Structure 1
Amino acid sequence: MSHFTAAVIGTGGIAKAHALYYTGSDRVDLVAGCDFNEGRLNAYCDTHGIARRYTDYQAMLAEVQPDIVSVCTWNPTHMELAIAAIESGAKAVISEKPMSDELGGPMDAVALAEERGCHFVVHHQTRFCAGYNATREMVAAGAIGRPVSIHWRSGGGMLNMASHLIDAYRWILGNPDWTDVLGWIQRHTNRFERGSYAEEKTHALIRFGEDEMILSMDLEDGVKYRESRLSGPDGIINFNREQAVLVNSEGIHEPKASPQPNGYLAELLAWMDGGPVHRNVASQALVTQQIMMAIYESARTRSMVMPPFVKRESPLEEMILAGELPYEGEPYDCRIPAALEYALEQRATNRA
């Protein structure tokens, strides 16, 4: 089996998980890190034993030529960096979620990866969670009959929480295509999340597949409840990341499913060796991205949106800039204040 080198771009909080993937594998050497914040970069590289350190990702890609590149930066930059890594000749790219805050970059990156033969995946790691996989197995076994609906309510915005959970629910259901969405959003404050425009509330109905299974989604800032309910004619499954409980005519059942702590990287390496396509292949994440942008478009147009949906720009940003979502107060980032400063600088540069 081949041995690979890896590099990480962006050394903030989530980059730790990527470092642990690589340092926990006997087939990958983590050889380089990159971040424009030198203090954060040095702390990360010291912790994980990384010798080569860069503040310029283009220089790192050219000089190191890593086999695998992790993109762990803020939302608006993911696809720019993923495309640069693919163009540099990387054999695999792991991008953090969401793919972006619009659709154009993700479509371009997926097309380029397929053209170049790059193993491009998105870090929707919830597809490896024990509770979701137990639910997937029960659905596949027909434990509740044909799934009719999923209801989910939680905190967090669309790009943060919905990017994980829409993707996870498609995994549970066998990756069905979506057929239409209806969406509504509220944005009364000048809210950002990791440098992207964000809303305080989202309500959406998403219909999947020929069986017209409905996902009812409620996101509201401050809500802590994250359990979901999947219903069918023969029972219901209450589930979260850690566990799943089946309730049907035979009683209450809680099957056991084991998490896979390094399964994400192991599955990527197996794909690179010629094995099955990774469950998080970027073309699947692109479907999630399309659904999220279609929800924003439905809110913008006050109408149902159906595929194919290929609008490149963010409908949320379009509404905000057109004054269709009036807000009060100064801009703030609900997760990372430094990301807001960067985002505002980039927007000012683009307007100039």
Structure 2
Amino acid sequence: MKATLKAAVIGCGKRGLDHARGYAACDGIELVALVDRAEEKRKAGMDRFQVAGYADVEEMLDQAKPDLVSIVTQPRGRADLTRQVAAGKVKAIVAEKPMALTMAEADSMVEACETAGIALIISHQMRFCREFVAGKEAICRGEIGEIQFLRGVCYGNLLNQGTHVLDMIRWYAGEPKLEWVMASWSDDAATFAELLGDPKRAAWKDEIHPAPMWMHCYFAFEGGVRASLECGLLYSRAGDSPSDWLQKRVCAVGTEGMIETRVAGDSRVLPGKAAGWKKTAGDLRSWTDATPAFLAELRDALNHGGTHRNHARESAQTFEGLMACAQAAVDGGIVRLPADRSRDALAELNACAETIKPNERKP
């Protein structure tokens, strides 16, 4: 029988505690430590999970000696923490999405972990949601033929939730190589207020995930598959969930049918030879259970061999698509992959948002 793996979580915010809950729910994994510089958050997590708490990462690595470490901090500085933890004697690192803020950071994370022989996994847990797994299985069975076009929609901006949805687009499409992208954007709160009819809602700015609050992106993949992604305040709703955050969805059109899948909703398949939609139901629990399932696959990969479906080389391609979109939004044209490693495209895009006056921005 394999020895129990010891896990630690860096970051005791809401999402960090989701990781902690996921580890605690996994047979064969013992949550042993939490890290947060904020004493109140750290103590709340310690009380909830009855584990040791630390304010310092190095102290935790030295004393708790974890096998698995989740890095669930804000995106800025996540690459530095990943390299720091990779220098310790751990077996795997789980980094929250987005994995970084620049391609140079992402590349350094992958290189540091590969050099150390450590598995690096990115938390794109939508690949484990029951309804999305059902959609993927229907595609693999050929129920809608060959994928031709996909559309993704979400409320969070490009870095917040767009990374989840682009990752699902790529997964549904069979992870083809991305060839080029285009993107348009807006950060104009006044226009948002007019279009939404809600000034308070329109004024929200995601300071943690530095990207415009509305973007529309277009992707061209090798083999002719095309996709679009709309993310941010002006997204189009679907279904009856009252939560904006549960409005993530992906539609796939094939040569013989189509699929529409919604987080905490359902996966609807319309095969070309069937009369009507075939549905696989999902609910809020299918979303909350995705993180434990994501971590359980990491446990199994470490214990029995194999590759996690969110391994860093794969997830880095999703992140590169995001960075190419940011570059395209700045440049106002097509960006061919690979994305320029020398640029900080998000900083450039946010600089544009500061200098371009409302109603004068690029459409």
- Quickly name the TM-score band, shorter chain normalised: 0.7 to 0.9
- CA pair 313-2 structure 1, distance change in 2 beyond 3 A: farther
Q: Which amino acid aligns with 2:303?
A: D
Q: Which amino acid aligns with 2:321?
A: I
Q: Deviations over 1:208-231 (max 9, x none)?
A: 222x11111122315444433211
Query: Does the 8 A contact of 1:156 with 1:222 survive in 2?
Result: no
- Cross-structure match for 1:26: 27
- CA pair 313-33 structure 1, distance change in 2 beyond 3 A: farther
Q: Deviation of residue 323 (structure 1)? A: 6.9
- Cross-structure match for 1:117: 117
Query: Does the 8 A contact of 2:12 with 2:36 survive in 1?
Result: yes
Q: Does 1:250 pair with 2:280?
A: no
Tell which deviates more after alignment, 35-44 or 80-89.
80-89
Structure 2 distance, partners of 1:135, 1:216, is 18
SS in 1 for 2:230: strand
Q: Deviations over 1:120-177 (max 9, x none)?
A: 1011100001221111111112211111111233322000111101111212222221
Q: Deviation of residue 309 (structure 1)? A: 1.7
- Cross-structure match for 2:231: 219
Structure 2 distance, partners of 1:257, 1:273, is 32
Q: Which amino acid aligns with 2:128?
A: F
Structure 1 distance, partners of 2:343, 2:64, is 33
SS in 1 for 2:226: strand
- CA pair 281-194 structure 1, distance change in 2 beyond 3 A: farther
SS in 2 for 1:127: helix
Q: Which amino acid aligns with 1:277?
A: T
Structure 2 distance, partners of 1:209, 1:319, is 27
Q: Which one of 290, 297, 315 corresponds to residue 345 of structure 2?
A: 315
Q: Deviations over 1:257-292 (max 9, x none)?
A: 785653212210111124210001111111111000
Q: Does 1:144 pair with 2:144?
A: yes
SS in 2 for 1:75: coil
Structure 2 distance, partners of 1:228, 1:283, is 23
Q: Does 1:193 pair with 2:217?
A: no
Query: Does the 8 A contact of 1:133 with 1:257 survive in 2?
Result: no
- CA pair 215-29 structure 1, distance change in 2 beyond 3 A: same
Aligned-residue Cα RMSD (Å) equals 2.2
TM-score normalized by the length of structure 2: 0.83
- CA pair 194-279 structure 1, distance change in 2 beyond 3 A: farther
Structure 2 distance, partners of 1:158, 1:323, is 15
List gaps (5 residues or longer) in structure 1: 329-352
- Cross-structure match for 1:340: none
SS in 2 for 1:272: helix
SS in 2 for 1:193: coil
Structure 2 distance, partners of 1:121, 1:168, is 16
Query: Does the 8 A contact of 2:330 with 2:352 survive in 1?
Result: no
- Cross-structure match for 1:263: 293
Q: Which amino acid aligns with 2:18?
A: A
Q: Does 1:207 pair with 2:220?
A: yes
Q: Deviation of residue 205 (structure 1)? A: 0.6
Query: Does the 8 A contact of 2:180 with 2:219 survive in 1?
Result: yes
- CA pair 251-312 structure 1, distance change in 2 beyond 3 A: farther
Structure 2 distance, partners of 1:143, 1:87, is 46
Structure 1 runs of 4+ with >6 Å offset: none
Tell which deviates more after alignment, 304-313 or 141-150.
304-313
Structure 1 distance, partners of 2:13, 2:142, is 42
Q: Does 1:2 pair with 2:15?
A: no
Structure 1 distance, partners of 2:204, 2:19, is 28
Structure 2 distance, partners of 1:41, 1:222, is 36
Q: Does 1:67 pair with 2:67?
A: yes
Query: Does the 8 A contact of 1:19 with 1:30 survive in 2?
Result: yes
Q: Deviations over 1:33-90 (max 9, x none)?
A: 111110111011100111x221122222233221111111111122211111111121
Query: Does the 8 A contact of 2:211 with 2:349 survive in 1?
Result: no
Q: Deviation of residue 100 (structure 1)? A: 1.7
- For residues 1-352 of structure 1, the aligned pairs below 5 Å read 1-50=2-51, 52-188=52-188, 193-210=206-223, 212-221=224-233, 223=235, 224-225=237-238, 226=247, 227-241=249-263, 242-247=265-270, 248-256=272-280, 259=286, 261=290, 262-321=292-351, 325-326=355-356
- CA pair 128-323 structure 1, distance change in 2 beyond 3 A: closer
**Identity, % of aligned positions:** 25
- CA pair 58-222 structure 1, distance change in 2 beyond 3 A: farther
TM-score normalized by the length of structure 1: 0.86
Structure 2 distance, partners of 1:128, 1:20, is 16
